[in-house]
Amino acid sequence: MSLKYKVFKFILLSTLLWFPFIGSDCNKSSSTPSSVIGSWELVKMLGNAQDVCLGETADFQTSGNATLTCPNSTPVQKTYTYSADILTYTQTGLSYSVAFKTENGIQKMVLTGRNGVDRELTYDQLSK
Protein backbone atom coordinates (compact mmCIF):
# COMPACT_ATOMS: atom_id res chain seq x y z
CA MET A 1 0.00 0.00 0.00
CA SER A 2 1.19 3.44 -0.78
CA LEU A 3 1.80 6.10 1.84
CA LYS A 4 -0.89 8.26 0.27
CA TYR A 5 -3.48 5.50 0.71
CA LYS A 6 -2.45 4.89 4.35
CA VAL A 7 -2.77 8.62 5.18
CA PHE A 8 -6.17 8.77 3.48
CA LYS A 9 -7.35 5.67 5.37
CA PHE A 10 -6.11 7.11 8.68
CA ILE A 11 -7.91 10.42 8.12
CA LEU A 12 -11.12 8.68 7.07
CA LEU A 13 -11.16 6.35 10.07
CA SER A 14 -10.25 9.17 12.47
CA THR A 15 -13.07 11.29 11.13
CA LEU A 16 -15.60 8.47 11.48
CA LEU A 17 -14.47 7.70 15.03
CA TRP A 18 -14.72 11.37 16.09
CA PHE A 19 -18.27 12.00 14.74
CA PRO A 20 -19.99 11.09 18.02
CA PHE A 21 -17.80 13.58 19.88
CA ILE A 22 -17.90 16.49 17.44
CA GLY A 23 -21.51 16.16 16.26
CA SER A 24 -23.98 18.96 16.74
CA ASP A 25 -26.45 19.21 19.61
CA CYS A 26 -29.45 19.52 17.30
CA ASN A 27 -31.37 16.73 18.98
CA LYS A 28 -30.81 17.92 22.52
CA SER A 29 -33.68 19.97 23.86
CA SER A 30 -32.87 23.38 25.25
CA SER A 31 -33.77 24.13 28.85
CA THR A 32 -34.73 27.66 27.83
CA PRO A 33 -38.39 27.93 26.84
CA SER A 34 -39.26 28.91 23.29
CA SER A 35 -42.96 29.43 23.83
CA VAL A 36 -45.19 31.30 26.24
CA ILE A 37 -47.20 28.12 26.89
CA GLY A 38 -47.31 27.28 30.59
CA SER A 39 -47.71 29.06 33.91
CA TRP A 40 -45.65 32.13 34.78
CA GLU A 41 -45.40 34.45 37.80
CA LEU A 42 -44.72 38.19 37.44
CA VAL A 43 -41.63 38.99 39.52
CA LYS A 44 -40.50 42.36 38.14
CA MET A 45 -42.16 45.26 36.35
CA LEU A 46 -40.69 48.45 34.96
CA GLY A 47 -42.39 51.42 33.33
CA ASN A 48 -46.09 52.04 32.98
CA ALA A 49 -47.73 48.90 34.39
CA GLN A 50 -51.23 49.94 35.52
CA ASP A 51 -53.12 46.74 34.80
CA VAL A 52 -50.69 44.18 36.24
CA CYS A 53 -49.50 43.37 39.74
CA LEU A 54 -46.44 41.69 41.22
CA GLY A 55 -47.23 38.07 41.94
CA GLU A 56 -49.69 37.87 39.05
CA THR A 57 -49.84 34.42 37.52
CA ALA A 58 -50.26 34.10 33.79
CA ASP A 59 -51.37 30.72 32.47
CA PHE A 60 -50.99 30.54 28.67
CA GLN A 61 -52.74 27.58 27.06
CA THR A 62 -52.18 26.06 23.61
CA SER A 63 -55.76 27.05 22.70
CA GLY A 64 -54.78 30.74 22.58
CA ASN A 65 -56.49 31.51 25.88
CA ALA A 66 -54.67 33.03 28.83
CA THR A 67 -55.79 33.32 32.44
CA LEU A 68 -54.23 36.24 34.33
CA THR A 69 -54.70 36.25 38.09
CA CYS A 70 -53.46 38.81 40.61
CA PRO A 71 -53.21 37.57 44.20
CA ASN A 72 -56.59 37.75 45.98
CA SER A 73 -58.33 38.84 42.76
CA THR A 74 -60.73 37.39 40.23
CA PRO A 75 -58.99 35.74 37.25
CA VAL A 76 -59.17 37.57 33.92
CA GLN A 77 -59.48 35.59 30.68
CA LYS A 78 -57.77 36.92 27.54
CA THR A 79 -57.17 35.53 24.09
CA TYR A 80 -53.72 35.91 22.61
CA THR A 81 -51.53 35.11 19.65
CA TYR A 82 -47.82 34.32 19.78
CA SER A 83 -45.71 34.37 16.64
CA ALA A 84 -42.16 35.42 15.75
CA ASP A 85 -41.45 36.34 19.41
CA ILE A 86 -44.42 38.73 19.54
CA LEU A 87 -47.21 38.19 22.08
CA THR A 88 -50.45 40.04 21.25
CA TYR A 89 -53.62 40.16 23.36
CA THR A 90 -56.28 40.07 20.67
CA GLN A 91 -59.07 42.05 22.40
CA THR A 92 -56.88 45.08 23.11
CA GLY A 93 -54.20 44.74 20.42
CA LEU A 94 -51.60 45.26 23.16
CA SER A 95 -48.40 43.53 22.07
CA TYR A 96 -45.05 42.66 23.56
CA SER A 97 -41.69 41.51 22.26
CA VAL A 98 -40.86 38.28 24.06
CA ALA A 99 -37.43 37.09 25.15
CA PHE A 100 -36.55 34.00 27.17
CA LYS A 101 -33.54 33.54 29.41
CA THR A 102 -32.28 31.49 32.31
CA GLU A 103 -30.95 33.14 35.47
CA ASN A 104 -29.59 31.08 38.35
CA GLY A 105 -31.42 28.03 37.02
CA ILE A 106 -34.77 29.86 36.79
CA GLN A 107 -36.52 30.12 33.41
CA LYS A 108 -37.62 33.68 32.71
CA MET A 109 -39.82 35.35 30.13
CA VAL A 110 -39.32 39.09 29.55
CA LEU A 111 -42.13 41.02 27.86
CA THR A 112 -41.21 44.42 26.45
CA GLY A 113 -44.07 46.69 25.40
CA ARG A 114 -44.41 47.64 21.73
CA ASN A 115 -46.17 50.45 19.85
CA GLY A 116 -45.55 53.11 22.48
CA VAL A 117 -46.29 50.93 25.52
CA ASP A 118 -43.60 51.78 28.07
CA ARG A 119 -43.24 48.67 30.19
CA GLU A 120 -41.10 45.63 30.75
CA LEU A 121 -42.52 42.64 32.58
CA THR A 122 -40.38 39.74 33.83
CA TYR A 123 -42.03 36.42 34.64
CA ASP A 124 -40.57 33.28 36.24
CA GLN A 125 -41.77 29.97 34.83
CA LEU A 126 -43.87 27.95 37.28
CA SER A 127 -44.67 25.03 34.96
CA LYS A 128 -44.72 24.07 31.29
Segment 70-122, tens digit of pLDDT: 999 999 999 999 999 999 999 988 999 999 999 999 999 999 999 888 899 99
User: Which residue segments constitute the domains of the chain, with CATH numbers given?
Assistant: 38-127 (2.40.128.20)
Segment 19-38, tens digit of pLDDT: 555 554 444 333 445 689 99
pLDDT value at residue 128:
82
Strand partners, 103: 106
Count of Cβ atoms closer than 10 Å to residue 123 Cβ = 25
pLDDT value at residue 49:
67
Reported confidence tier of residue 51, pLDDT bands at 50, 70, 90: confident
Reported confidence tier of residue 2, pLDDT bands at 50, 70, 90: confident
Across the range 9-23, mean pLDDT stands at: 61
Q: Above 60 in pLDDT, residue 123?
A: yes
Q: What values do phi and psi take at 9, rounded to 5?
A: -60, -40
pLDDT value at residue 15:
63
123: nearest Cα among 99, 89, 95? 99
Q: Are 74 and 68 in contact (CB under 8 A)?
A: no
pLDDT value at residue 20:
57
